[in-house]
Structure 1
Protein backbone atom coordinates (compact mmCIF):
# COMPACT_ATOMS: atom_id res chain seq x y z
CA UNK A 1 0.00 0.00 0.00
CA UNK A 2 1.33 3.44 -0.94
CA UNK A 3 2.06 5.78 1.95
CA UNK A 4 -0.19 8.83 2.25
CA UNK A 5 1.62 12.07 3.09
CA UNK A 6 0.13 15.48 3.85
CA UNK A 7 2.81 18.16 3.82
CA UNK A 8 2.60 21.86 4.58
CA UNK A 9 4.93 24.32 2.86
CA UNK A 10 5.18 27.48 4.95
CA UNK A 11 7.37 29.23 2.39
CA UNK A 12 8.70 32.52 3.83
CA UNK A 13 6.27 32.83 6.74
CA UNK A 14 6.23 32.75 10.56
CA UNK A 15 8.47 33.91 13.37
CA UNK A 16 9.46 31.53 16.16
CA UNK A 17 6.62 32.73 18.40
CA UNK A 18 4.10 32.30 15.59
CA UNK A 19 5.41 28.80 14.85
CA UNK A 20 5.04 27.68 18.47
CA UNK A 21 1.52 29.09 18.66
CA UNK A 22 0.63 27.29 15.43
CA UNK A 23 2.00 23.99 16.71
CA UNK A 24 0.13 24.28 20.00
CA UNK A 25 -3.21 24.77 18.23
CA UNK A 26 -2.49 22.08 15.63
CA UNK A 27 -1.60 19.45 18.23
CA UNK A 28 -4.74 20.31 20.16
CA UNK A 29 -6.88 19.81 17.07
CA UNK A 30 -5.20 16.51 16.23
CA UNK A 31 -5.22 15.11 19.77
CA UNK A 32 -8.31 12.93 19.39
CA UNK A 33 -8.16 12.07 15.70
CA UNK A 34 -7.20 8.91 13.87
CA UNK A 35 -4.07 9.41 11.81
CA UNK A 36 -4.90 8.99 8.12
CA UNK A 37 -1.54 10.09 6.71
CA UNK A 38 1.97 11.07 7.68
CA UNK A 39 2.19 14.79 8.43
CA UNK A 40 5.15 16.92 7.35
CA UNK A 41 5.85 20.58 8.09
CA UNK A 42 8.33 22.16 5.65
CA UNK A 43 9.42 25.34 7.38
CA UNK A 44 11.96 28.16 6.90
CA UNK A 45 15.53 27.46 8.02
CA UNK A 46 15.09 29.81 10.99
CA UNK A 47 12.48 27.47 12.49
CA UNK A 48 14.15 24.10 12.00
CA UNK A 49 16.04 24.04 15.30
CA UNK A 50 13.03 25.24 17.30
CA UNK A 51 10.58 22.78 15.75
CA UNK A 52 13.08 19.94 15.87
CA UNK A 53 12.82 20.08 19.65
CA UNK A 54 9.03 20.58 19.66
CA UNK A 55 8.29 17.75 17.24
CA UNK A 56 10.74 15.21 18.65
CA UNK A 57 9.01 11.91 19.33
CA UNK A 58 5.70 13.01 17.79
CA UNK A 59 3.83 12.03 14.64
CA UNK A 60 4.60 15.27 12.76
CA UNK A 61 7.77 15.12 10.67
CA UNK A 62 10.08 18.05 10.04
CA UNK A 63 10.95 19.17 6.54
CA UNK A 64 13.09 21.89 4.96
CA UNK A 65 12.36 23.93 1.85
CA UNK A 66 15.74 23.74 0.14
CA UNK A 67 19.08 21.96 0.14
CA UNK A 68 22.40 22.61 -1.59
CA UNK A 69 24.04 19.89 -3.68
CA UNK A 70 27.41 20.33 -1.93
CA UNK A 71 28.06 19.19 1.63
CA UNK A 72 30.01 22.36 2.44
CA UNK A 73 31.80 25.22 0.71
CA UNK A 74 31.71 28.84 -0.34
CA UNK A 75 27.98 29.04 -1.04
CA UNK A 76 26.75 32.09 0.88
CA UNK A 77 23.15 31.83 2.03
CA UNK A 78 22.80 28.11 1.29
CA UNK A 79 22.28 25.10 3.57
CA UNK A 80 23.74 21.62 3.23
CA UNK A 81 22.35 18.17 3.82
CA UNK A 82 24.59 17.61 6.83
CA UNK A 83 23.22 20.82 8.38
CA UNK A 84 19.65 19.61 7.83
CA UNK A 85 20.48 16.22 9.34
CA UNK A 86 21.92 18.04 12.35
CA UNK A 87 18.48 19.66 12.79
CA UNK A 88 16.60 16.36 12.38
CA UNK A 89 14.95 17.27 9.08
CA UNK A 90 13.41 14.14 7.55
CA UNK A 91 12.10 15.70 4.33
CA UNK A 92 13.10 18.49 1.96
CA UNK A 93 11.20 20.14 -0.90
CA UNK A 94 13.23 20.14 -4.12
CA UNK A 95 12.41 21.81 -7.43
CA UNK A 96 9.44 23.86 -6.28
CA UNK A 97 8.19 26.13 -9.06
CA UNK A 98 9.12 29.22 -7.06
CA UNK A 99 12.73 28.01 -6.85
CA UNK A 100 12.69 27.33 -10.58
CA UNK A 101 11.02 30.65 -11.45
CA UNK A 102 12.74 33.11 -9.10
CA UNK A 103 16.11 31.46 -8.50
CA UNK A 104 16.84 29.87 -11.87
CA UNK A 105 16.86 26.23 -10.77
CA UNK A 106 17.11 23.89 -13.74
CA UNK A 107 16.25 20.20 -13.92
CA UNK A 108 19.98 19.46 -13.65
CA UNK A 109 20.27 21.47 -10.43
CA UNK A 110 17.12 19.81 -9.10
CA UNK A 111 18.61 16.40 -9.87
CA UNK A 112 21.81 17.25 -7.98
CA UNK A 113 19.78 18.41 -4.98
CA UNK A 114 17.65 15.24 -4.95
CA UNK A 115 20.82 13.13 -4.98
CA UNK A 116 22.33 15.25 -2.17
CA UNK A 117 19.23 14.82 -0.02
CA UNK A 118 19.23 11.05 -0.52
CA UNK A 119 22.93 10.86 0.28
CA UNK A 120 22.08 12.27 3.70
CA UNK A 121 19.05 9.96 4.08
CA UNK A 122 16.64 12.90 3.78
CA UNK A 123 13.53 12.16 1.72
CA UNK A 124 13.15 14.67 -1.13
CA UNK A 125 9.72 15.89 -2.22
CA UNK A 126 10.40 16.44 -5.92
CA UNK A 127 8.04 18.98 -7.48
CA UNK A 128 7.07 18.91 -11.15
CA UNK A 129 4.43 20.88 -13.02
CA UNK A 130 3.53 22.98 -16.02
CA UNK A 131 2.78 26.67 -16.57
CA UNK A 132 -0.55 27.99 -17.87
CA UNK A 133 1.13 28.75 -21.20
CA UNK A 134 2.42 25.18 -21.50
CA UNK A 135 -0.99 23.74 -20.61
CA UNK A 136 -2.79 25.96 -23.14
CA UNK A 137 -0.29 24.83 -25.78
CA UNK A 138 -1.09 21.16 -25.07
CA UNK A 139 2.41 20.47 -23.76
CA UNK A 140 1.56 19.18 -20.27
CA UNK A 141 2.63 15.57 -20.79
CA UNK A 142 5.81 16.54 -22.65
CA UNK A 143 6.83 19.01 -19.93
CA UNK A 144 6.18 16.59 -17.07
CA UNK A 145 7.99 13.68 -18.73
CA UNK A 146 11.01 15.87 -19.52
CA UNK A 147 11.19 17.16 -15.94
CA UNK A 148 11.07 13.61 -14.60
CA UNK A 149 13.63 12.23 -17.04
CA UNK A 150 16.17 14.91 -16.16
CA UNK A 151 15.42 15.12 -12.43
CA UNK A 152 15.54 11.36 -11.75
CA UNK A 153 18.96 10.53 -13.23
CA UNK A 154 20.80 8.26 -10.72
CA UNK A 155 18.05 8.79 -8.14
CA UNK A 156 16.93 6.09 -5.68
CA UNK A 157 13.18 5.96 -6.24
CA UNK A 158 12.74 4.03 -3.02
CA UNK A 159 13.50 7.15 -1.00
CA UNK A 160 11.46 9.74 -2.85
CA UNK A 161 8.14 11.59 -2.93
CA UNK A 162 6.88 13.34 -6.06
CA UNK A 163 4.50 16.29 -5.97
CA UNK A 164 2.55 17.32 -9.05
CA UNK A 165 2.09 21.07 -8.78
CA UNK A 166 0.52 22.76 -11.80
CA UNK A 167 2.22 26.16 -11.58
CA UNK A 168 -0.89 28.04 -12.64
CA UNK A 169 -2.74 26.66 -9.58
CA UNK A 170 -0.17 27.62 -6.94
CA UNK A 171 -1.34 30.50 -4.77
CA UNK A 172 -3.99 31.51 -7.29
CA UNK A 173 -7.03 29.94 -5.68
CA UNK A 174 -7.50 27.99 -8.92
CA UNK A 175 -7.35 24.25 -8.40
CA UNK A 176 -6.69 21.74 -11.13
CA UNK A 177 -9.78 19.63 -11.80
CA UNK A 178 -9.36 16.53 -9.62
CA UNK A 179 -9.92 14.12 -12.49
CA UNK A 180 -7.26 15.91 -14.53
CA UNK A 181 -4.87 15.94 -11.56
CA UNK A 182 -5.48 12.21 -11.13
CA UNK A 183 -4.80 11.66 -14.86
CA UNK A 184 -1.51 13.56 -14.80
CA UNK A 185 -0.38 11.78 -11.64
CA UNK A 186 -1.20 8.51 -13.38
CA UNK A 187 1.14 9.58 -16.21
CA UNK A 188 3.82 10.40 -13.64
CA UNK A 189 3.44 6.92 -12.14
CA UNK A 190 3.91 5.39 -15.58
CA UNK A 191 7.28 7.15 -15.87
CA UNK A 192 8.77 5.85 -12.60
CA UNK A 193 10.14 2.39 -11.91
CA UNK A 194 8.91 2.34 -8.31
CA UNK A 195 5.14 1.96 -8.70
CA UNK A 196 4.68 2.25 -4.93
CA UNK A 197 6.06 5.77 -4.81
CA UNK A 198 3.97 8.41 -3.02
CA UNK A 199 2.74 11.08 -5.46
CA UNK A 200 1.05 14.17 -4.06
CA UNK A 201 -1.03 16.92 -5.58
CA UNK A 202 -0.27 20.55 -4.78
CA UNK A 203 -1.95 23.78 -5.83
CA UNK A 204 -4.58 25.71 -3.84
CA UNK A 205 -5.49 22.75 -1.62
CA UNK A 206 -8.15 23.73 0.95
CA UNK A 207 -10.42 22.05 3.52
CA UNK A 208 -13.22 22.30 0.94
CA UNK A 209 -11.50 20.28 -1.80
CA UNK A 210 -9.30 17.89 0.19
CA UNK A 211 -11.84 15.05 0.42
CA UNK A 212 -12.42 15.02 -3.33
CA UNK A 213 -8.67 15.13 -4.00
CA UNK A 214 -7.94 12.24 -1.65
CA UNK A 215 -10.61 9.99 -3.17
CA UNK A 216 -8.71 9.89 -6.47
CA UNK A 217 -6.96 6.52 -6.97
CA UNK A 218 -3.61 7.90 -8.13
CA UNK A 219 -3.27 10.68 -5.53
CA UNK A 220 -1.45 9.74 -2.31
CA UNK A 221 -1.48 13.06 -0.48
CA UNK A 222 -1.10 16.79 -0.86
CA UNK A 223 1.51 19.52 -0.63
CA UNK A 224 -0.33 22.44 0.94
CA UNK A 225 0.70 26.08 0.67
CA UNK A 226 -1.44 28.90 2.09
CA UNK A 227 -3.89 26.67 3.96
CA UNK A 228 -1.01 25.14 5.93
CA UNK A 229 -0.30 28.49 7.60
CA UNK A 230 -3.51 28.33 9.62
CA UNK A 231 -3.56 25.49 12.18
CA UNK A 232 -7.35 25.18 11.98
CA UNK A 233 -7.51 24.85 8.19
CA UNK A 234 -4.45 22.58 8.13
CA UNK A 235 -5.94 20.30 10.78
CA UNK A 236 -9.14 20.10 8.71
CA UNK A 237 -7.07 19.02 5.72
CA UNK A 238 -5.23 16.42 7.81
CA UNK A 239 -8.56 15.13 9.18
CA UNK A 240 -10.20 14.94 5.75
Structure 2
Protein backbone atom coordinates (compact mmCIF):
# COMPACT_ATOMS: atom_id res chain seq x y z
CA UNK A 1 0.00 0.00 0.00
CA UNK A 2 1.49 3.32 -1.03
CA UNK A 3 0.68 6.60 0.63
CA UNK A 4 -0.01 9.91 -1.05
CA UNK A 5 2.62 11.84 0.89
CA UNK A 6 5.01 13.06 -1.79
CA UNK A 7 3.55 16.55 -1.81
CA UNK A 8 3.94 16.85 1.96
CA UNK A 9 7.59 15.80 2.10
CA UNK A 10 8.62 19.38 2.91
CA UNK A 11 6.98 19.02 6.33
CA UNK A 12 9.35 16.25 7.39
CA UNK A 13 12.88 17.39 8.20
CA UNK A 14 15.44 14.71 7.27
CA UNK A 15 17.30 12.97 10.08
CA UNK A 16 20.66 11.21 9.92
CA UNK A 17 21.50 9.27 13.07
CA UNK A 18 24.79 7.49 13.61
CA UNK A 19 24.59 4.31 15.69
CA UNK A 20 28.08 3.54 16.93
CA UNK A 21 26.94 0.28 18.53
CA UNK A 22 29.72 -1.18 20.75
CA UNK A 23 32.43 0.82 19.03
CA UNK A 24 34.28 4.05 19.66
CA UNK A 25 37.01 5.64 21.76
CA UNK A 26 37.88 9.02 23.22
CA UNK A 27 40.11 9.69 20.24
CA UNK A 28 37.23 8.99 17.85
CA UNK A 29 35.01 11.37 19.81
CA UNK A 30 37.61 14.11 19.24
CA UNK A 31 37.64 13.44 15.51
CA UNK A 32 33.90 14.16 15.40
CA UNK A 33 34.34 17.70 16.71
CA UNK A 34 34.47 18.81 13.04
CA UNK A 35 31.52 16.72 11.87
CA UNK A 36 29.19 19.64 11.14
CA UNK A 37 31.68 21.52 8.98
CA UNK A 38 29.84 21.93 5.69
CA UNK A 39 26.58 20.41 6.99
CA UNK A 40 23.47 22.61 7.06
CA UNK A 41 21.91 21.97 10.48
CA UNK A 42 18.77 23.82 9.39
CA UNK A 43 18.25 21.30 6.59
CA UNK A 44 19.06 18.04 8.39
CA UNK A 45 18.96 16.85 12.01
CA UNK A 46 22.24 15.07 12.78
CA UNK A 47 22.44 12.67 15.72
CA UNK A 48 25.24 10.57 17.18
CA UNK A 49 24.33 7.60 19.38
CA UNK A 50 27.58 6.47 21.04
CA UNK A 51 28.03 3.90 23.81
CA UNK A 52 26.65 5.42 27.00
CA UNK A 53 30.11 5.74 28.58
CA UNK A 54 31.08 8.30 25.91
CA UNK A 55 28.02 10.56 26.15
CA UNK A 56 29.73 13.02 28.49
CA UNK A 57 32.65 13.28 26.04
CA UNK A 58 30.30 14.98 23.58
CA UNK A 59 29.39 17.86 25.90
CA UNK A 60 28.95 21.02 23.83
CA UNK A 61 28.63 19.18 20.50
CA UNK A 62 26.83 21.03 17.71
CA UNK A 63 24.72 17.99 16.82
CA UNK A 64 22.17 16.02 18.81
CA UNK A 65 22.94 13.04 21.03
CA UNK A 66 21.05 9.80 21.46
CA UNK A 67 21.25 6.67 23.56
CA UNK A 68 21.35 3.19 22.08
CA UNK A 69 18.70 1.72 24.38
CA UNK A 70 16.57 2.71 27.35
CA UNK A 71 14.78 0.90 30.14
CA UNK A 72 11.01 0.80 30.34
CA UNK A 73 11.45 1.44 34.09
CA UNK A 74 12.36 4.60 35.95
CA UNK A 75 14.96 3.22 38.38
CA UNK A 76 15.68 0.35 40.77
CA UNK A 77 17.68 -2.84 41.06
CA UNK A 78 18.22 -3.41 37.33
CA UNK A 79 21.96 -3.85 36.83
CA UNK A 80 23.24 -2.51 33.54
CA UNK A 81 20.04 -0.75 32.51
CA UNK A 82 19.83 2.96 31.71
CA UNK A 83 16.80 5.10 32.44
CA UNK A 84 15.37 7.84 30.25
CA UNK A 85 16.18 10.47 32.88
CA UNK A 86 19.82 9.35 32.96
CA UNK A 87 20.07 9.82 29.20
CA UNK A 88 18.45 13.24 29.42
CA UNK A 89 20.85 14.28 32.19
CA UNK A 90 23.75 13.55 29.82
CA UNK A 91 22.29 15.66 27.05
CA UNK A 92 20.36 13.12 24.97
CA UNK A 93 17.37 14.18 22.91
CA UNK A 94 16.92 10.83 21.21
CA UNK A 95 17.22 7.12 21.96
CA UNK A 96 17.26 4.08 19.67
CA UNK A 97 14.60 1.56 20.67
CA UNK A 98 14.11 -1.99 19.41
CA UNK A 99 17.15 -2.32 17.16
CA UNK A 100 17.24 -5.83 15.69
CA UNK A 101 20.44 -6.53 17.62
CA UNK A 102 18.61 -5.74 20.88
CA UNK A 103 15.66 -7.85 19.79
CA UNK A 104 17.92 -10.79 18.91
CA UNK A 105 20.72 -10.49 21.48
CA UNK A 106 18.53 -9.51 24.43
CA UNK A 107 15.18 -11.05 23.54
CA UNK A 108 13.32 -7.75 23.30
CA UNK A 109 9.76 -8.40 22.13
CA UNK A 110 7.66 -5.94 20.15
CA UNK A 111 5.57 -5.41 23.30
CA UNK A 112 8.66 -4.50 25.32
CA UNK A 113 9.90 -2.25 22.52
CA UNK A 114 6.58 -0.40 22.59
CA UNK A 115 6.81 -0.02 26.38
CA UNK A 116 10.35 1.38 26.09
CA UNK A 117 9.27 3.78 23.36
CA UNK A 118 6.36 5.03 25.45
CA UNK A 119 8.63 5.53 28.47
CA UNK A 120 11.01 7.56 26.30
CA UNK A 121 8.17 9.72 24.96
CA UNK A 122 6.66 10.33 28.38
CA UNK A 123 10.10 11.32 29.68
CA UNK A 124 10.78 13.84 26.91
CA UNK A 125 13.03 11.75 24.65
CA UNK A 126 12.33 11.03 21.00
CA UNK A 127 12.58 7.28 20.39
CA UNK A 128 13.94 6.06 17.06
CA UNK A 129 11.92 2.85 16.85
CA UNK A 130 13.50 0.16 14.69
CA UNK A 131 11.54 -2.37 12.69
CA UNK A 132 12.71 -4.77 10.00
CA UNK A 133 12.52 -8.26 8.61
CA UNK A 134 14.96 -11.13 8.08
CA UNK A 135 15.83 -12.38 4.61
CA UNK A 136 13.80 -15.54 5.26
CA UNK A 137 10.73 -13.50 6.19
CA UNK A 138 11.06 -11.49 2.97
CA UNK A 139 11.62 -14.57 0.79
CA UNK A 140 8.52 -16.39 2.05
CA UNK A 141 6.36 -13.35 1.33
CA UNK A 142 5.65 -12.34 4.93
CA UNK A 143 7.40 -8.97 4.91
CA UNK A 144 4.26 -6.84 5.14
CA UNK A 145 2.53 -8.94 7.80
CA UNK A 146 5.73 -9.03 9.85
CA UNK A 147 6.22 -5.26 9.73
CA UNK A 148 2.51 -4.67 10.35
CA UNK A 149 2.73 -6.72 13.56
CA UNK A 150 5.71 -4.68 14.76
CA UNK A 151 3.83 -1.44 14.03
CA UNK A 152 0.60 -2.72 15.60
CA UNK A 153 2.45 -3.32 18.87
CA UNK A 154 3.13 0.42 18.92
CA UNK A 155 -0.35 1.59 17.96
CA UNK A 156 -1.98 -0.77 20.47
CA UNK A 157 -0.11 0.91 23.33
CA UNK A 158 0.12 4.53 22.18
CA UNK A 159 -2.22 7.17 20.87
CA UNK A 160 -1.52 8.84 17.56
CA UNK A 161 -0.47 11.96 19.45
CA UNK A 162 2.06 9.99 21.50
CA UNK A 163 3.43 8.09 18.52
CA UNK A 164 3.80 11.35 16.58
CA UNK A 165 6.65 12.16 18.99
CA UNK A 166 8.63 9.16 17.72
CA UNK A 167 10.67 8.35 14.62
CA UNK A 168 10.49 5.02 12.76
CA UNK A 169 13.62 3.40 11.33
CA UNK A 170 13.17 0.61 8.79
CA UNK A 171 16.21 -1.66 8.89
CA UNK A 172 16.02 -4.87 6.88
CA UNK A 173 18.05 -7.29 9.00
CA UNK A 174 19.60 -8.85 5.91
CA UNK A 175 21.18 -5.48 5.02
CA UNK A 176 22.61 -4.53 8.44
CA UNK A 177 26.39 -4.67 8.43
CA UNK A 178 26.44 -6.99 5.44
CA UNK A 179 27.37 -4.50 2.74
CA UNK A 180 24.12 -5.44 0.98
CA UNK A 181 21.71 -2.54 0.59
CA UNK A 182 18.11 -2.59 -0.51
CA UNK A 183 17.76 -0.84 -3.84
CA UNK A 184 16.23 2.63 -3.60
CA UNK A 185 13.08 1.21 -5.18
CA UNK A 186 12.89 -1.68 -2.67
CA UNK A 187 13.43 0.68 0.23
CA UNK A 188 10.85 3.17 -1.06
CA UNK A 189 8.24 0.44 -1.51
CA UNK A 190 8.63 -0.68 2.11
CA UNK A 191 8.65 2.87 3.45
CA UNK A 192 5.45 3.57 1.51
CA UNK A 193 3.90 0.44 3.02
CA UNK A 194 4.89 1.55 6.53
CA UNK A 195 3.41 5.00 5.96
CA UNK A 196 0.28 3.49 4.50
CA UNK A 197 -0.14 1.13 7.44
CA UNK A 198 0.25 4.01 9.87
CA UNK A 199 -2.37 5.90 7.85
CA UNK A 200 -4.90 3.22 8.75
CA UNK A 201 -4.34 4.33 12.36
CA UNK A 202 -4.06 8.07 11.70
CA UNK A 203 -3.62 9.96 8.42
CA UNK A 204 -2.01 12.90 10.20
CA UNK A 205 0.42 10.61 12.00
CA UNK A 206 1.41 8.92 8.74
CA UNK A 207 1.96 12.12 6.78
CA UNK A 208 4.12 13.65 9.50
CA UNK A 209 6.09 10.57 10.58
CA UNK A 210 9.81 10.67 9.79
CA UNK A 211 10.77 7.21 8.53
CA UNK A 212 14.47 6.47 8.22
CA UNK A 213 16.23 3.77 6.25
CA UNK A 214 19.07 1.76 7.73
CA UNK A 215 21.12 -1.02 6.21
CA UNK A 216 24.63 -0.47 4.83
CA UNK A 217 23.97 3.20 3.97
CA UNK A 218 27.15 5.00 2.96
CA UNK A 219 28.28 8.08 1.08
CA UNK A 220 28.08 6.32 -2.29
CA UNK A 221 24.40 5.36 -2.02
CA UNK A 222 22.92 7.84 0.48
CA UNK A 223 21.82 10.52 -1.98
CA UNK A 224 19.81 8.13 -4.14
CA UNK A 225 18.19 6.50 -1.11
CA UNK A 226 17.32 9.81 0.55
CA UNK A 227 15.81 11.13 -2.68
CA UNK A 228 12.93 8.65 -2.38
CA UNK A 229 9.68 10.41 -1.39
CA UNK A 230 8.95 8.34 1.73
CA UNK A 231 12.54 8.05 3.02
CA UNK A 232 13.32 10.84 5.47
CA UNK A 233 16.99 10.10 6.22
CA UNK A 234 18.92 7.22 7.67
CA UNK A 235 20.04 5.29 10.74
CA UNK A 236 23.68 4.67 9.93
CA UNK A 237 25.95 1.98 11.38
CA UNK A 238 29.48 1.41 10.10
CA UNK A 239 29.69 4.60 8.04
CA UNK A 240 28.96 6.66 11.17
CA UNK A 241 32.37 5.67 12.59
CA UNK A 242 34.25 7.57 9.85
CA UNK A 243 33.84 11.30 10.23
CA UNK A 244 34.30 12.25 6.56
CA UNK A 245 32.09 9.42 5.32
CA UNK A 246 29.38 10.30 7.81
CA UNK A 247 29.62 13.99 6.93
CA UNK A 248 28.94 13.13 3.28
CA UNK A 249 25.92 11.05 4.30
CA UNK A 250 24.59 14.00 6.30
CA UNK A 251 25.15 16.33 3.36
CA UNK A 252 23.24 13.93 1.09
CA UNK A 253 20.20 14.26 3.35
CA UNK A 254 20.30 18.06 3.54
TM-score of the two chains, using structure 2 as the length reference: 0.88
Select which of 159, 163, 167 maps to 1:161: 167
1:73 and 2:76 correspond: yes
User: Residue 78 of structure 1 aligns to a residue in which SS?
Assistant: coil
State whether residues 25 and 232 of structure 1, in contact with CA within 8 Å, keep that contact through their aligned partners in structure 2: no
User: Residue 96 of structure 2 aligns to a residue in which SS?
Assistant: strand
- Residue in 1 that maps onto 2:247: 235
- Residue in 1 that maps onto 2:4: none
Select which of 222, 234, 249 maps to 1:222: 234
Unpaired runs of at least 5, structure 1 = none
Select which of 16, 20, 24 maps to 1:14: 24
State whether residues 39 and 250 of structure 2, in contact with CA within 8 Å, keep that contact through their aligned partners in structure 1: no
1:119: Cα distance to partner? 1.1
1:185 and 2:191 correspond: yes
User: Residue 69 of structure 1 aligns to a residue in which SS?
Assistant: coil
Count of aligned pairs: 232
1:25: Cα distance to partner? 3.7
State whether residues 128 and 165 of structure 1, in contact with CA within 8 Å, keep that contact through their aligned partners in structure 2: yes
- Residue in 1 that maps onto 2:98: 95
Find the aligned partners of 1:87 and 1:152 in 2 and give their Cα distance.
29
1:190: Cα distance to partner? 1.3
Find the aligned partners of 2:169 and 2:77 in 1 and give their Cα distance.
31
- Deviation string 1:195-224 (CA, Å, 9 cap, x unpaired) is 211000000001010110011001000000
After TM superposition, the runs of 4+ consecutive aligned structure 1 residues lying more than 4 A away are none
Find the aligned partners of 1:92 and 1:126 in 2 and give their Cα distance.
9
1:200 and 2:212 correspond: yes
